[in-house]
A and B are shown apart, each in its own frame.
Chain A
Amino acid sequence: MIIGRYYIDHKSVVPKIVIGALIALVAIFPLFTTNMVTLSIIILSGIWAIAVMGFLLILRTGQFSLGQAAFMAIGGYVSAILTVKMGMSYWPSFVAAGIISGVIAFIIGIVVLRAGGIYFSIITIAFGEIVRIVAMNWESVTQGASGILTHAPESLTVGNLEINFAASVVPYYYFMLLLVTVSALFYWQIDRTRIGGTFRSVAANPVLAEHLGINLMKHRLIAFTVAGLFTGLAGAYYVTFLSVMNPLIFDLWKSVQIMMMTIVGGMGSIVGGPIIGATLLYTLGIYLSRVPIPNIQYLVFGGVVVLLLLVLPKGTGLVDQWGKLWRRVFGEPEDFQMPGEEGMDEE
C-alpha cells in the first residue's frame, strides 16, 4: 500500500504522455469503426468500470461490498420510471438517478456499515436481493418481471451540432466517455489526496486510526455514498443504452462480477485497474456468451479469478503487474520531493 505518495508527491508510474496517447486513441476511436458490436463492448466496459471504481473506493476503507449492482439497479429504475412512467426527459432523470442512488447508499450505509467486515458483505448481498425482490413485486411502479422499455435520451443541440441518440451509437460512445472521465477524475482525486490516505488507514488498522482521531464510520460512509452516486449514474446510463430495465439485469452475479473485475485489474490504481479489469472480463463474457456450453461464464470467470489469486502476489492484479514490468523496463518514477529538503544537508 502506498500512502506517502499521496501526501508528499505523486508521480504516476506510466508517463503522462503514454496515458495521454491512450486517451486520445479512445477519444477518436469511432473514426476507425462505427461497428455496433465493437463500440458496444467498449461502452459497457466503461460503464462497468465506473461500478468497479466504486467497489474499489469502498474497499479502500476495508469494506467488501457485494451489493454494488443493486445501486446500478436503483439508478436504472429511477431513470426508467421517471422517463417512461412520469414523462420526464432523460437528462434530469439521469441526474436524479445519481442523487437518489447516493442518498439510498448514505441511508443504507448508516445501517450496514456499523456491522463492518464479513457482516457488511453479507448484509450488502441481502440488500441487493431485497432491491431485486422489490423490483420484481412492486408491479405498479416497476412493471415486475416484464420490465420497463426505456427510450433513447432526447437529442441535444450543441452550437449547430445536432446530437441524435436514436440515429447511431456514436453519441452514446461519447456520453460514456464523458461519464467515465468525470467519474474517474473524481475517484482519482479522492484516492490520491488526504481523504484517500485516511481511507487506507481505516482499512489498514481501524483501531489505531480511531485512536488517532479518525471517525471510522464517517469515512466508510463517504466512500459508500460516493460509490453509490456514481454507480447509480452508471445504472441510469445502462438502461437507456439497453432500452430495457428489469429485475434480472443487476443480480447478485453482477455484483460478484464487479468484485472479480476489481481482482483482475488490481487494486493499486483506482482508475487503471478497474478500467482494465472491467474491459477484460466484460469482453471475455461477451465471447463466452457465444459458447454453447451452459454456465460456461461462471466456470471461466471463477477459474480466471482463482488462477490470478494463486499466481499473482497478494492484492495485486494485472495492472499492478504491468506497472512492475513497466518500472523494470523503464525505471522507477522520480522519487519524493521532500519539503525542506534544502535544509537537510546541514545535518
Chain B
Amino acid sequence: MPLLELKGIIKFFGKLAALENIDLQVNKGEILGIVGPNGSGKTTLINLISGYYRPTRGTIYFDGRKISGLRPDQIARLGIVRTFQSNVLFEGASVIESMMISSRLQYKTNEWQAFWETKAYKDEHEKIVGNALNTLRFVNIFNETFRPAAALPHGFQRMLGIGVALAANPSVLLIDEPTTGMNHEEAMGVVENIREINKQGVTVVLIEHNMRVLLNIATRVIVLNFGNKIADGDPHEMMSKPEVVEAYLGTETL
C-alpha cells in the first residue's frame, strides 16, 4: 500500500483547471521529485495534500486513511508537513522562536502541565529546545539562532523554512522549491539535508526546477504540464522522453 495516494484529483480555481485528474502514489521512504513548467500545478498539488485547499473532486489517502477534507493542522499532526515556495515567517519572531512554535507537536505534556510548569514539562521543554538547536545546526543556520527571522538573508530563510518543518516531526515532508535564489554552496547544503532527512526515514516529495538537483537525489520523478501528469518514473529515463523535454524546453536548464 502506498503511503500517500491521490485518486482522481481535480482542482479548479473558478474556470481555471489547475489540476486535471491526477492519480499519484507516493511510497514510503522515497524521494519523489515533481517537475513541470511554471503554472503547471506543482504547488497546487502540495496545497491540496496539506489541506490548504480542498480538491474540487477526488480523494487523498494517507496510510489508507482519507485525509482530503481535514484541516491543515489535522494533516500536520498526522505527520505530513510542508514548506512554502515563498519565505513564510512568523512576523516578529526570532529564529529559535519560530523553531519552538513548530516544535509544538513534539510535546507530550498537556496545556495544563505547561501552564503550571511541572517538572515533566520543564524536562521535556529543555529536551525540545535542545532538539531545535540541533536542527538549526543541521540546516546550517545555528549562528542565526537569536536573530529575527525576517532579518535573515533569503537563503537562510529558506533553510529556516526546512528547519521549521522538520521540528514539526514529519513522516512525510513536502518541500516546495527549496533552492530557489540560493547560491551553489547553499543549494548543495540543502540537497545534502534532504538526502539525510530521507535517510532518517522521512518520505520526501520535492518540487524542484533544477533538474541537476533532482537527478542527484530523487528516486522517482513525475512531470506535470498544464495540470496533467505527463510522465512518472525513473529520473534519468525521464530525461530521454520527448514530451518531457518539450514541456521543459525553454523553462529551465537541463
A-side interface residues toward B, CB under 8 Å? 1-4, 7-8, 189-190, 193-195, 197-198, 200-201, 204-205, 207-216, 222, 336, 338-340
Contacts and interface: CB of A to CB of B under 8 A. Distances in A.
Contacts of B168: 212-213
B129 interface: yes
A201 B133 contact: no
22 contacts: A3-B90, A3-B97, A3-B100, A3-B101, A4-B146, A190-B115, A194-B104, A194-B121, A195-B111, A195-B114, A197-B100, A198-B101, A204-B92, A208-B88, A210-B72, A211-B50, A211-B73, A212-B105, A213-B102, A339-B130, A339-B133, A340-B130
Interface string B64-100: 0000000111001100011010001111111011001
Nearest to A195: B111
A205 B73 contact: no
Contacts of A197: 97, 100-101
B97 A4 contact: yes
B10 interface: no
B52 interface: yes
A1 B150 CA distance: 12
Closest 7 CB pairs of A and B: A1-B92, A3-B97, A213-B76, A194-B114, A204-B90, A4-B97, A201-B101
A1 B92 CA distance: 5
Interface in B106-160: 107, 111, 114-115, 117, 121, 125-126, 129-130, 133, 146
Contact of A339 (B91, B129, B146): B129
A212 B146 contact: no
B34 interface: no
B114 A193 contact: yes
A215 B73 contact: yes
A3 B77 contact: no
A2 B84 CA distance: 24
A7 B97 contact: yes
A209 B71 CA distance: 12
B90 A205 contact: yes
B172 interface: no
A208 B76 contact: no
Nearest to B76: A213
Contacts of B101: 3, 197-198, 201, 209, 212, 214
Contact of A198 (B92, B104, B164): B104
B94 A193 contact: no
A213 B105 CA distance: 7
Contact of B117 (A193, A211, A213, A336): A193
B76 A336 contact: no
Contacts of A4: 93-94, 96-97, 100, 146
A213 B89 contact: no
Contacts of B73: 209-216
Nearest to A222: B111
B92 A213 contact: no
A340 B126 CA distance: 9
Nearest to B91: A204
Contacts of A210: 71-73, 76
B150 to A, nearest CB: 11
A66 B97 CA distance: 30
A212 B164 contact: yes
Contacts of A195: 111, 114-115
A211 to B, nearest CB: 5
Contacts of B92: 1, 204
A214 B74 CA distance: 8
**Taking each of B52, B89, B101, B125, which has the highest tally of chain A beta carbons within 10 Å of its own beta carbon?**
B101
A7 B105 contact: no
B102 A212 contact: yes
Contacts of A193: 114-115, 117
